[in-house]
Structure 1
Amino acid sequence: MIITEKLIASLQSVLTGDPWYGPATYDILNQVSFDAAYETPPGSIHSIAGIMLHMLSWTHEVTERLHGKEASEPAGGDWPKPGHPDEHKWQQLQNDFKLANVTLEGVINGFPADRWSQLTNDHRDPSLGNGVTYEALIEGLIQHHIYHSGQIALLNRIVSG
Structure 2
Amino acid sequence: MRRTESIANRLREVLLDGRWIANTNVKDQIESISWQQAVQKVDSLNTLAALTYHLNYYLGGVLNVFKGGELEIRDKYSFDLPPIRSERDWQSLIEDFLSNSEEFIEHVASLEEQKLDEPFVDKKYGSYERNLEGVIEHSYYHLGQMALINKMILGGNN
Normalised TM-score (structure 2):
0.86
Counterpart of 1:49? 49
SS in 1 for 2:117: coil
Contact 1:51 1:148 in 2 (8 A): yes
Structure 2 residue identity aligned to 1:91 = Q
4+ residue runs of structure 1 moved beyond 6 angstroms? none
Give the 5 Å matches for 1:100-139: 100-124=100-124, 131-139=125-133
Establish whether residue 31 from structure 1 lines up as the match of residue 25 from structure 2: no
Taking every aligned residue pair, what percent have the same amino acid on both sides? 24
> What is the alpha-carbon distance in structure 2 between the residues aligned to residue 57 and residue 24 of structure 1?
18
Report which of the two has the higher share of helix: 2
Moved more, 95-104 or 29-38: 29-38
Q: Deviations over 1:26-62 (max 9, x none)?
A: 2222332222101112222x21111111111000112
Unmatched 5+ stretches in structure 1:
125-130
Q: How many corresponding residue pairs?
A: 154
Counterpart of 2:154? 160
Structure 1 residue identity aligned to 2:130 = A
Unmatched 5+ stretches in structure 2:
none
SS in 2 for 1:151: helix
Q: CA deviation at 1:75?
A: 9.9
> What is the alpha-carbon distance in structure 1 between the residues aligned to residue 151 and residue 98 of structure 2?
23
Q: CA deviation at 1:110?
A: 2.6
SS in 2 for 1:108: helix
Normalised TM-score (structure 1):
0.84
